[in-house]
């Protein structure tokens, strides 16, 4: 008698996750086409893409704690897709800013990045995401070696903090810190869990 397989291993799981990750973009395209983005559609589109970038980063970081705490090793197969969607939404966020705010004028964009620290933080996060996206495939892991690949992909931690700082600084102009506080709490839990696990494993190794 065949054992019940985990639903996370079902062949439809990855296509379903892909569709769910693409759904926010589909909604934004529909909302833009039907004039449902409010009085300032350009700002709404840029900010919504930024929000989904941070959410995708949080989901990517949540995979390891959930996999470990819930004893669901199959969740690891979704981490790459979530990470690539995070890069995808960050890239769209940057493109929307460059196109809708700056008219794709590279000189103006470069000047704005240098002048405004919160934009510099967001741009730096995107630059750091580039090598992670470029090496997210099996051939890259073999070429780099597992250890070097793992060290490179730890860049996701400072990237998430840069994304949060970008978001907080952007909202600071309107004294709106409620939503950034939620993301800050989520990231504090996700990164704090990793730190506690690392130091507890070191302590156990010393006692062994």
The pLDDT assigned to 79 comes to 94
Task: Give the tokens for residue 13.
Answer: 């799981």
Which helix (H) or strand (E) covers residue 166, if one does?
Answer: helix 156-172
The pLDDT assigned to 2 comes to 47
Instruction: Spell out the per-residue pLDDT of the chain, length 208, in tens.
Output: 445 567 777 889 999 999 999 999 999 999 999 999 988 999 999 999 999 999 999 999 999 999 999 999 999 999 999 999 999 999 999 999 999 999 999 999 999 999 999 999 999 999 999 999 999 988 888 899 989 999 999 999 999 999 999 999 988 777 778 889 999 999 999 999 999 988 876 655 555 5
Give 34's contacts (C-beta < 8 A, 6+ positions apart).
Answer: none
| CA gap 198, 175 in Å, rounded | 36
pTM: 0.91
The pLDDT assigned to 198 comes to 83
| CA gap 39, 152 in Å, rounded | 42
- 193: buried, middle or exposed (CB in 10 Å: 19+, 13-18, 0-12)? middle
| CA gap 29, 23 in Å, rounded | 10
In sequence order, what DSSP letters do the residues of 96-160 get, joined into one string?
A: HIIIIITTT-HHHHHHHHHH-HHHHHHHHHHHHHHHHHHT-SHHHHHHH-HHHHHHHHTTHHHHH
**Short-list 19, 14, 21, CA closest to 57:** 21
Domain boundary assignment for the chain: 11-201
């Amino acid at each position: 008698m065949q054992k019940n397989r985990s639903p996370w291993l079902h062949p439809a799981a990855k296509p379903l996750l892909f569709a769910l990750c693409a759904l926010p973009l589909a909604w934004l395209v529909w909302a833009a086409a039907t004039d449902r983005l409010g009085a300032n559609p350009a700002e709404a589109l840029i900010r919504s893409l930024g929000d989904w970038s941070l959410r995708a980063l949080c989901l990517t970081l949540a995979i390891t704690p959930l996999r470990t705490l819930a004893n669901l090793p199959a969740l690891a197969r979704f981490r790459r897709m979530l990470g690539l969607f995070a890069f995808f939404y960050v890239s769209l966020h940057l493109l929307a800013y460059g196109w809708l705010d700056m008219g794709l004028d590279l000189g103006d964009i470069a000047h704005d990045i240098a002048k405004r620290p919160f934009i510099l933080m967001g741009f730096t996060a995107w630059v750091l995401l580039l090598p992670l996206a470029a090496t997210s495939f099996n051939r890259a892991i073999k070429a780099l070696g597992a250890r070097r690949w793992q060290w490179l992909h730890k860049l996701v931690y400072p990237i998430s903090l840069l994304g949060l700082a970008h978001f907080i600084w952007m909202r600071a102009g309107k004294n709106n810190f409620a939503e950034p506080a939620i993301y800050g709490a989520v990231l504090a839990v996700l990164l704090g869990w990793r730190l506690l696990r690392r130091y507890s494993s070191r302590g156990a190794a010393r006692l062994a």
